[in-house]
Structure 1
Amino acid sequence: MSLLKKIEETVSYIRSKTDLTPQVGLILGSGLGVLADEIESPTVIDFAEIPNFPLSTVEGHAGKLVIGTLEGCPVVTMQGRFHFYEGYSQKEITFPVYVMKQLGCDKLVVTNACGGMNRNFQPGDLMLITDHINFTGSNPLIGANDPQLGPRFPDMSQAYNRELIEIAERVAEKNGIQVQKGVYVAISGPAYCTPAELIMLRNFGADAVGMSTVPEVIVANHAGLKVIGISCVTDMAIGEELEPLTHEQVVEVANRTRPTFISLVKGFLAEVQS
């Protein structure tokens, strides 16, 4: 079955569960999925029930699609995501982005937990992603291109929409939320970086490092979605001062940051409704 046919099959199934046409798609990263619990009049579908969807296997990722309204904005939300390191191809992990587009979305909010490499950051900070570096070793657009989904060579000069970033900055200022801005670098994982790798990535120009987001953003740009990325800095990844790290620590800090994160995203959604 072609990619387009799979997308159509999945969209048809989801539309059989809800009449809502979402405007904004949200992908919620480690420890941040609780935002989906705030969605009003929700339709909740387990990933396992959705045709052609992979399954999320990582702690802190609930594995549910939630459709409803948030701050009056119609949204479709992935409560948890898929990762390259789980053994899926990048085409598989980005499949839901095309589905969100076909459901009616014109904007995508991607979130993640990340390690901060910029010495001006600290755990608990929120970072608006201004650009990214794809260091995963792959690309979700490799292979045949269907022009009905997007161009063969999509432009990435504004992968993260500047207008949306400005809106998020205004919302943050209005709500007294301090936000950082920076470049996110994606690695394949699942191992955390060595000190030498972190120093290299910082020298490349990255401010934060993680194991997600970039494949979804590439596909979102291919599909014509406007993207904003928000990272939760859960630990400091300074190569010269690296301390041992566990996934449980990452989720714990993300959990502590949730009220600020929720406030920022809800305020953003209130501003971007078309």
Structure 2
Amino acid sequence: IKHEIAEKRRAAAAERFHSVIEERRRAAAGATKAGTRGLSPRSAAIAEEEHARKLAAQAEAKREMAERKRQQQAAQHEQQQHEAKQRALRNEHRMRKNRELLEQQQREQEAAQAARDEAARQRREAVERDRAMRREQQLEASRRAAELRNAAKEKARQHEAKVRADAEARRMRADERLHAFSSFKHAQQQQNASMEAAKREHRLQAARRAEEQRAQERARLMRRQHETDERVADMRERRGGGGGGGP
């Protein structure tokens, strides 16, 4: 920014220097031209004076314009300096905020790492305590399992003896029941054979009775048919005798 301001100042000074040189050159050229018009010296002096006043007025107007331009450039320069200062302040504020944020993040990371380390230490201690407790529990469980196995073996031995005794008693009772059942089945088979023979006899008698009934029914139907045929023939004879040779 300083370099840019210095460049602008040098450019403005050079422009003012060139404008002054140009004004002097034009004044000299105007005076020379006025003197070559063939006027009287008095008229030439008046013309030169008038021309000099015009040049002076033009030079004053240019100086005023240059002054306004310089003031405008100075105001712009001041505005640029103010904006640059504001940008610098904002940059400094942002950098400070970033530093504070980084420091806060670093503190938070350190605190989080410390918390993780503490949690890991506590987990390791808990794991060690749990392992020791499990070892003690396994030893106690092994002792209890041995006691239970011994008690179970004794109970199994007693149960096996009882099972053998019960099995022998059941076998004897089963033999007795089998013998009784065999006797009962033999008697039942004999009874069933007698009942089956009686049933067959009953079925035969029923079949004979049914056949007799069917024969009686057929005979009755044949008698009725015979009687009907006789009545029909009798009626035909009566109609034929009384009608004198009808159809």
TM-score category of the 2 structures, normalised to the smaller one:
under 0.3
Query: Higher strand fraction: Structure 1 or Structure 2?
Result: 1
Query: Higher helix fraction: Structure 1 or Structure 2?
Result: 2
Q: Which structure would you say has the larger Rg?
A: 2
The higher-RCO structure (CA 8 Å, 6+ apart) is: 1
**TM-score, normalised with respect to structure 1:** 0.15
**TM-score, normalised with respect to structure 2:** 0.16
